[in-house]
Amino acid sequence: MLEQLLELLRAGGTHRVQDLARALDTTPEMVTAMLEGLGRMGYLKPVSASCDGECRRCPLAGMCAAGVPGSAGQGSVWSLVDADS
């Protein structure tokens, strides 16, 4: 399932945890755990630890789960690590 998650992420765009869970037929909690695991393995890096509350100025407003109360992965924003680095 980690490979499937990586494929979804490599396809580009932004993804909410809930949408990834639906695509992988699993729970948001499992996706959050997999994202954290991929981070520990060096495939992903955290972009920011939490939402700064300025979503209205963010170009990703409405597309990410950062700062959404009650969402799995709340405040977590990840980026794929460049394979060349």
> At 17, which CATH number?
1.10.10
Provide the number of structural domains found in the chain.
1
- Please check whether residue 40 lies inside any domain of the structure: yes
> Would you give the end-to-end CA distance of the chain in angstroms?
25
Judge if pTM exceeds 0.85: no
- Please check whether residue 73 lies inside any domain of the structure: yes
Q: CA–CA separation, 43 vs 52, rounded Å?
A: 25
pLDDT tens across 30-72, in order? 999 999 999 999 999 877 645 556 666 666 666 655 555 444 4
Q: CA–CA separation, 70 vs 45, rounded Å?
A: 23
* Residue pair 53/10 in contact by the 8 Å Cβ criterion: no
- Please check whether residue 85 lies inside any domain of the structure: no
